[in-house]
Structure 1
């Protein structure tokens, strides 16, 4: 579809929606996030006082500009984990992640997937798949937001709404921002995925409000990424960019087009269960089998041992982004036995070959949605977002898909969305 045709299509969508409002007619399956203005309203908060909250399934970030003679950027990320101790105290971030080993059932993560979901037939598959991946229980069918169940040592069960759990992560980020800025923070822009429904978005906003923030606007994640990479100045009118995000637990691909100086998303596809965690699990499974063969020890039900092994495998995965070989080492993995085995990049790629193919399948689906699958040279920029895009094999597959065109990884992948949203918020002051 040509740029002019897309501009007309976008205008027609807006006209139809305005007509519907005037007549009282409801458009089925209309998602306002598809054409919503992602720019914050500059009159709703004092200049320079807005921060950005990028709430993720694996990690969450806060970003913002620090006013001064030379403006600097505040950027800080924490794991999106919440845990509860025996006395009921809440742990957030790295402390919560560390608590998972001794008390996994009191630890909650991956909850962003549950925003706006109702445990009915339409979304039950996502809930069930998440339940297979997390130690905490997810309950309460047929409610807008499924609750997480946390059982303390004294047997008391807590039922916590997803937005309440998320608010604890937001509050931690807010506190970190206030420590850095030396003042209270009241206003925030929040990033949201392209696929979020209106209900999902309001759930995320609610988490921010519980944490004591006024959410002045939301920014779509692929648009924030495009801004972070400076694509407004790089793309021609009607130019296209492919934004591929591969995070810790979820992945998505978007085709972003510049129309009248603003970005529109014309192709999108996501997988809520594809990311770095899955790549780690393949390594864990490989070494668990090796341990059983070499040592006659089955650690598949030993949560402490698996947790130690997973941490070591995740570290090895990151090393293999820059080196051809890594060592997976764990002191006293089981029965006092120290574990140490090599892992090559080629073996890592072999273990995850089908997973990497799924990543490229996301790109293909997004290109089909944008009607560009037969004209890949129409994509002017390729932007990689998310820590898992640092994996060389993924970069190579993306490059090959686009006929040798190099993807752009100049911005730190796991902070680029927060950075882009901060630029949008700052430019609107």
Structure 2
């Protein structure tokens, strides 16, 4: 088990309570799974925290906004490129990659690489050479330009901004504020220049934090990859320093500053 192995590696080191970041959806199922896994690994206590909270902590915003501040955490996934090439392969070669788990997994890996390349260059190549479930072998090579990529994802990009707009409206109605001090982008898709541009324009030119390359007020610079921000924040909350961050507990996204007993789950 992964958790048991991590526990063994940490034996003898300073630690408090292991943290398990929880998605904002399917929370109950995730909490139950995390607690069962921790119990099987011999852990007595586990801390469940929100993924957005963990992402904010990974960027040091608990130091930067120690007195008061509002943080928007935007998590953007992906998958449109894989869908595009799946349809292209089926149309041109008569092979349905979507029905082959291994082949589709390999295609998604190649598409993820292409997406990252398109963040810094105009064209990316997708090369696939994979075994098929029927025992055959399939090879494919195709290219994708950034313009094509942005056209494929136009509706999804607009949906991201629409969801941000909805979240802002709900927050203003529920909490009475509409000012955002920091914007944190999480997930591999936030590398996409168009998404960063749309978010920046929405917040009147405010730059978002995706990889904290610059120093953060109150702490040292931290190179946090957007795909790793949640895990990194969870790790920090598992090993709090003397002046570190107090866990908020699951579901306490609007309150920053005080520890809460319910963030600990006794097993």
Structure 2 counterpart SS, 1:370 = helix
TM-score by length of 2: 0.69
Q: Report which of the two structures shows the higher radius of gyration computed on alpha carbons.
A: 1
* Match of residue 96 from structure 2: 299
* Unmatched 5+ stretches in structure 1: 1-170, 247-274
Structure 2 counterpart SS, 1:175 = helix
2:188–2:226 contact (8 Å) kept in structure 1: yes
* Match of residue 248 from structure 2: none
* Match of residue 385 from structure 1: 186
Judging by fraction of residues, say which structure has more helix. Answer: 2
Residues 310 and 225 of structure 1: is their aligned pair in 2 closer, same or farther, counting only changes over 3 Å? closer
Structure 2 counterpart SS, 1:371 = helix
Question: How far 1:344 moved relative to its partner?
Answer: 1.0
* Match of residue 220 from structure 1: 50
* Separation (CA, whole Å) in 2 of partners of 1:206 and 1:427: 24
2:119–2:191 contact (8 Å) kept in structure 1: yes
2:157–2:195 contact (8 Å) kept in structure 1: yes
* Separation (CA, whole Å) in 2 of partners of 1:349 and 1:315: 16
Structure 2 counterpart SS, 1:427 = coil
2:227 aligned to which of 414, 418, 422? 414
Structure 2 counterpart SS, 1:396 = helix
Structure 1 counterpart SS, 2:49 = strand
Residues 202 and 388 of structure 1: is their aligned pair in 2 closer, same or farther, counting only changes over 3 Å? same
Deviations 1:308-340 (A, max 9, x none): 433322321222222221111123788766422
TM-score by length of 1: 0.45
Residues 209 and 361 of structure 1: is their aligned pair in 2 closer, same or farther, counting only changes over 3 Å? farther
Deviations 1:129-174 (A, max 9, x none): xxxxxxxxxxxxxxxxxxxxxxxxxxxxxxxxxxxxxxxxxx3144
Question: How far 1:195 moved relative to its partner?
Answer: 4.5
Where do 1:115-134 residues align within 5 Å? none
* Match of residue 82 from structure 2: 281
1:186–1:214 contact (8 Å) kept in structure 2: no
- Structure scoring higher RCO (CA < 8 A, sep ≥ 6) equals 2
1:308–1:333 contact (8 Å) kept in structure 2: no
* Separation (CA, whole Å) in 2 of partners of 1:379 and 1:301: 40
* Separation (CA, whole Å) in 2 of partners of 1:318 and 1:177: 33
* Separation (CA, whole Å) in 1 of partners of 2:120 and 2:189: 13
Residues 356 and 419 of structure 1: is their aligned pair in 2 closer, same or farther, counting only changes over 3 Å? same
* Match of residue 109 from structure 1: none
2:157 aligned to which of 318, 331, 356? 356
1:313 aligned to which of 111, 134, 144? 111
Give the length in aligned residue pairs: 224
* Separation (CA, whole Å) in 1 of partners of 2:169 and 2:190: 22
Judging by fraction of residues, say which structure has more strand. Answer: 1
Question: How far 1:355 moved relative to its partner?
Answer: 1.9
2:200–2:208 contact (8 Å) kept in structure 1: yes
